[in-house]
Structure 1
Amino acid sequence: MTTAVAAPFRFFSLQVVRTRRLGPSLVRVTFAGPDLAAFHSDGRDQSLSLFLPHPGQPEPVVPIELGDGWWQAWRELPDDVRAVMRSYTLRALRRDPDEIDIDFVLHGVEPGAAAPAGPASRWAARAAAGDRVLLLGPAIADNRAIRFRPPEDTDLVVIWGDATALPAVSAILEALPADLPARVWLEVHDAGDIQDLSTAADAEITWLVHDRRDHTTDRAEGSPMALGALHSAQLPPAEHPYAWIAGESSCVKALRRHLVGERGIDRRRVTFVGYWREGLTEEQLRAAE
């Protein structure tokens, strides 16, 4: 069942068709379903809302039949009934057959993890063909949930992302024009999460591997590793640079301050997106906002 919500977005009823482990902390889940014929996106960092069932539920519980009133009705459901909602980025859209890929970062699913896995990590780690989900996504290709929009005169692209931004960065790199200079920093949890990324751009990609043994790092002002890497980097000369930074919100803010205040990049040419916030679940983050 599908119901229009607020153009250009709608619900899509999907099923898992396969999964693939990309690394110790990453798994790719491929979804399909007749609804995807109406799914359209021209974006490289297309944001989506994914609704997952609780263990034992055959499908996520979202009262979409209420139309525009679904949100309030969903919030009023009991915690153990209401579908788990998480924000993700589209990794890929394919036709013939219609499929989409979403990459999940797995937290706390490994034996002896310092913190327990959240509901989305648990679901993704166990996802199997036939599992049902609901997705709130775009029915119009150019929509407000696309943020990577470099101006036409861009002559240098600067990118930073943590593991949650890796799907978007991968898609962005694939779409960059040939020979466009790009400098990219990607921060991941494990060296095994490093991927071979495809691009026609003149891209220099630096992988930063987070030291999981260090539990003392104060992230209130962002990742020292990311800040150190960008502070020491020599960027190629450019008259019209454009920057895209996404990931943990405090780190994103600190990097934006560096790019605007110290690098002199026009703040209007810096796109910054906080995908998550250290110490807060998505429910807590929504409540805080």
Structure 2
Amino acid sequence: MFGFFELEVARTRRLSTGMQRVTFRAARPGGLAEFASGGRDQRFKLFLPRPEDDGPTDPPPVDAGELWYAAWRAQDPDRRSIMRTYTVREQRREPGEIDVDFALHHESGPATRWANGCLAGDRLIALGPTDSENGGVDFRPPPGTAEVLLAGDESALPAIAGILARLGAGTRVRGWIEVGHPDDIQELPTRADAEISWLIRGAGVRLTEAVSAAAPATGQAYAWIAGEAGEVRRLRRHLVGRANLDRRHVTFTGYWRRGTTEEELLEEAVLAAAGAAAGAE
């Protein structure tokens, strides 16, 4: 359901103060033919080269099959490629391109530095879907959903844009998006009946406060929330506790956590899964 793809940068475009779009194409003719985005919040992984001052980068274990993650973890942490998870903002079969919007965090981590400095022709490896119905799509409202609630920060903006683009006419949507700068506000085309509230960080109400102050959902609601892990937990607590949403109808994902790298988050997840498995024995 997932496979490795060799990509190269086709072009870049600064969308706003806090967002950089990188358009990828296949590094070889026909190399994206099997890439099958499911749209919405489709996530996939990019393996970024290490900065020059970190020394040479070992390539991801493309020949390891389903054991790729264990093989990647077994590589020297000081040499292996830097793995990050991103959303497919848009895939175009013709001419065979994928857009990825990078949120440029103030901490200027390796992904931000790479996105700011990459040039046309730069190459990297991606792990992406080969079937449009895949586990990298989380937005799945249940039948009978009367209203969709969307909330997230700029790291979730590409996914929210993809979700809105896929929703049909007449779908009632309320969304709250927190960004760092006024020019980060984007047009989000959709056929849905969508009401989007933009929040500028440091200039007023924060994300959880805005959602908490909103009128409660009427009828069966489905909520999708993503962004900084601590903020996502607070939002979920409000929606399930005070707003009385069925917890099965709330999809929540911590895209990042302040002060923590994706490698550290993955390591925590592996240890937690191992602990759960040991407890079940």
What's the TM-score once normalised by structure 1's chain length? Answer: 0.86
Displacement after TM superposition at 1:50 (Å): 0.6
Q: 1:77 aligns with which of 72, 75, 83?
A: 75
- Which residue does the alignment assign to 1:106? 104
1:229 equivalent to 2:210? Answer yes
Displacement after TM superposition at 1:69 (Å): 4.2
Secondary structure at the residue paired with 2:33?
Answer: helix
Tell me if structure 1 keeps the 8 A contact 2:9–2:25.
yes
1:54 equivalent to 2:50? Answer yes
Q: How many percent identity over aligned positions?
A: 49
Q: 1:41 aligns with which of 37, 43, 46?
A: 37
Secondary structure at the residue paired with 1:197?
Answer: coil
- Which residue does the alignment assign to 1:120? 111
Q: Structure 2: any 5+ residue segments left out of the alignment?
A: 270-281
Report the CA distance shift for 1:59/1:287 in structure 2 as closer, same or farther (over 3 A): closer
User: 1:232-284, CA deviations, whole angstroms, 9 ceiling, x for partnerless residues?
Assistant: 1124x532111100111111111111111111111111111111112211112
**Distance in 1 separating the partners of 2:233 and 2:181:** 24
**Distance in 2 separating the partners of 1:210 and 1:253:** 18
Tell me if structure 1 keeps the 8 A contact 2:153–2:226.
yes
1:193 equivalent to 2:184? Answer yes
- Which residue does the alignment assign to 2:278? none
**Distance in 2 separating the partners of 1:92 and 1:58:** 31
Displacement after TM superposition at 1:196 (Å): 1.1
Displacement after TM superposition at 1:99 (Å): 0.8
**Distance in 2 separating the partners of 1:83 and 1:189:** 29
**Distance in 2 separating the partners of 1:175 and 1:67:** 31
* Superposition misfits of 4+ residues, deviation over 6 angstroms: 57-60
Q: Specify the code of the residue in structure 1 equivalent to 2:19.
A: L
**Distance in 2 separating the partners of 1:157 and 1:142:** 21
Secondary structure at the residue paired with 1:40?
Answer: coil
**Distance in 1 separating the partners of 2:84 and 2:134:** 19
Aligned-pair Cα RMSD in Å: 2.0
**Distance in 1 separating the partners of 2:207 and 2:94:** 40
- Which residue does the alignment assign to 1:28? 21
Q: 1:94 aligns with which of 89, 92, 95?
A: 92
Displacement after TM superposition at 1:59 (Å): 7.8
Displacement after TM superposition at 1:78 (Å): 3.0
Q: Structure 1: any 5+ residue segments left out of the alignment?
A: 1-7, 109-114, 215-223
- Which residue does the alignment assign to 2:150? 159
Tell me if structure 2 keeps the 8 A contact 1:10–1:139.
yes
Tell me if structure 1 keeps the 8 A contact 2:42–2:136.
yes
Displacement after TM superposition at 1:70 (Å): 3.6
1:145 equivalent to 2:136? Answer yes
Displacement after TM superposition at 1:231 (Å): 1.5
What's the TM-score once normalised by structure 2's chain length? Answer: 0.88
User: 1:19-54, CA deviations, whole angstroms, 9 ceiling, x for partnerless residues?
Assistant: 111111100101011321101122300111110112
Q: Specify the code of the residue in structure 1 equivalent to 2:245.
A: I
Secondary structure at the residue paired with 2:210?
Answer: helix
